[in-house]
Amino acid sequence: MSINYNYSIELARSQDFPNLRDTVYVDHVGATLYSRSQMEAVHKDLMSNLYGNPHSHNASSKLSTDTVDQVRARILQMFNTNHKEYSLIFTSGCTASLQIIANCFRFGTGNHTCLLLNNVTQIAECLFLIFVILRILRKEKKNYLFLDAQQGVFCYLDDNHTSVQGMREAVADRTSGIFCLDEQELVQAICGAESSSPVAESSVDPESINGEATLPPTVPQSLVAFPAQSNFSGRKYPLEWVLRCKQSGLSVPSRKSSESEKWFVLLDTAAYVSTSPLDLSRVQPDFATVSFYKMFGYPTGIGALLVHKRAWSSLDKQYFGGGTVAASTSKGRFHAFWKSLHDRFEDGTVPFLNIISLKHGMDAMQKLAGNMQVVCDHVFAVARYFYQHLSKLQHGNGQPLAEIYGGVNFETSCSQGGVVTFNILRSDGAYIGYSEVDKFANLHDVHLRTGCFCNIGACQRFLSLSDKVIKENFDAGHVCGDNMDLIAGRPTGAVRISFGYMSTIDDARVCLRFIADSFLEKPVTIPAFPNPDCPSNDSGPKVRKLTDIHLYPLKSCGAFKVSEWEMGSKGLLYDREWVLVTDAGVTIGQKKIPQICMLRPHIDLESRRFTLNFPGKSDFL
């Protein structure tokens, strides 16, 4: 085992994560887990203190305001920066942070004129003026109104979360181009820009610290977005890209950059910061997005957008909610935003109780796991152990059991996070659908993730799914989140196992054991056929007879024993077909009600009747 494995977490695991008893949770990129001491601290805090609405001015309101400010400062400190360099805007999560940028980033800084028309006469006069201008343009054979408009472009890596991909629809009408690049294309675009005249890094004058400065008119502003870590494969992208993109921009196809063009960098750190340290004093993206439940497990529905001071003036906010303006009028279109960036972007009352709870998440992680570098090393050690053993599993004929995606060999935690994504193969090389793997995982109480993980770009790249195939699969009925895992023998998604700071080597072993036991095809022993002229050899292969078949139609209940049974498309007919649920739809297993193992099912195929029997009770359906 690696020297970086944190053995102390095994003791903390048994004490602070009782919900993991007899369960293996390996979906930490989806959401990590909260600890018992963390939740106890949250409840004690809320029961001991009176927190009021921060927009009021009473004592409980002031306590909330002060505590929220303390948490804001502590989060900045956790990322090795401060409020002078970055403004931290609390949001509902990474997606909401990305939406702010999509709606507010200015791709061009030319002045815009807005007319407020108060009556029918003014409207008629305005329409007449537009008509005259259009007639003139038509006569001059011009097809544009603004001859000097300059807009930047939006570029994003294909290996990005759907929430980044969705930004393109919000910015489409405000850019001069949208470019989706794979890793090789992005590197070429960076190198191409560096070999030409460098673009000046975006700068800001002192007035912009108060949010008042604007860049010169008609300066195009471009935005490039990529993740610090892929949520699909765990691949960590080079953080030096941030500085290179800011200094030189990108050289994208069929477009000539302006010498005055400014390039801004959006770094999605949601998957990265859950198990890796982020130093914003060294890596300085213009925008960084965070979801805190991926770091601490609790609370959900709270994230942050971090904006570097150089990028404050690049955001142009239109909508204003409660608490974001210093003054406004109800009839005339007058409003004045607060000077502080986070005050102007945090519309309405912030979820102050959730924000206050974050400090207990930070405390718990530091107490149980140490600093983030210790977490990073530990998670990498567990993931590498799993990867190394999974990659060595072979069927009896020597064919690999798994097809692993990512393109790295877990050489260093600088290039790979605690994620292993793969598909299972049969001995003939055919794929086993991820839904089937998920069902076997549930039977072994292993909680993993299947599908495309809201990252269709990486899914398309690693599974060789063209845009045409995606559309054909959709026409065939496949949608995100369904169980249509194979179409024409090709996978539509994959299996992802990801580890967190409370994961252990035993978690990796259980995952490997269930995969091997469920899908590994062992060598088949071919019986010898003795020569009839030779005396028989009692030491030869023995003929074995199947005496009983045990079916489990109802999960966690007893077996139904038969001597012969029909086969269905998925194996023995009705085997593991049903599960008990409560009125609320929550599944019931032996962990919750151990006595259900005494339920004895019986199926009569002729009458198509399914009966359950419990000792001392009459049969019931």
Q: Which helix (H) or strand (E) holds 600?
A: strand 600-604
* Gap between the Cα atoms of 514 and 51, Å rounded: 48
8 Å CB contact between 553 and 580? no
Residue 393 to residues 24, 59, 442, Cα–Cα distance (Å): 21, 63, 21
SS3 assignment for 285-340: CCEEEEECHHHHCCCCCCEEEEEEHHHHHHECCCCCCCCCEEEECCCCCCEEECCC
The residue from 126, 454, 459, 534 that is catalytic is: 454
Query: Which tokens hold the place of 588?
Result: 């019931």
* Gap between the Cα atoms of 461 and 232, Å rounded: 11
* Gap between the Cα atoms of 254 and 179, Å rounded: 11
* Gap between the Cα atoms of 465 and 485, Å rounded: 13
* Gap between the Cα atoms of 503 and 494, Å rounded: 21
Amino acid in the structure at residue 129? L
* Gap between the Cα atoms of 474 and 520, Å rounded: 32
> Residue 585 has what DSSP assignment?
S
Whether 454 is catalytic is yes
* Gap between the Cα atoms of 64 and 43, Å rounded: 16
Burial class (CB within 10 angstroms; exposed 0-12, middle 13-18, buried 19+) of 175 = buried
Helix, strand, coil percentages (3-state) for the chain, rounded to 5, are: 35, 20, 50
Catalytic residues: 454
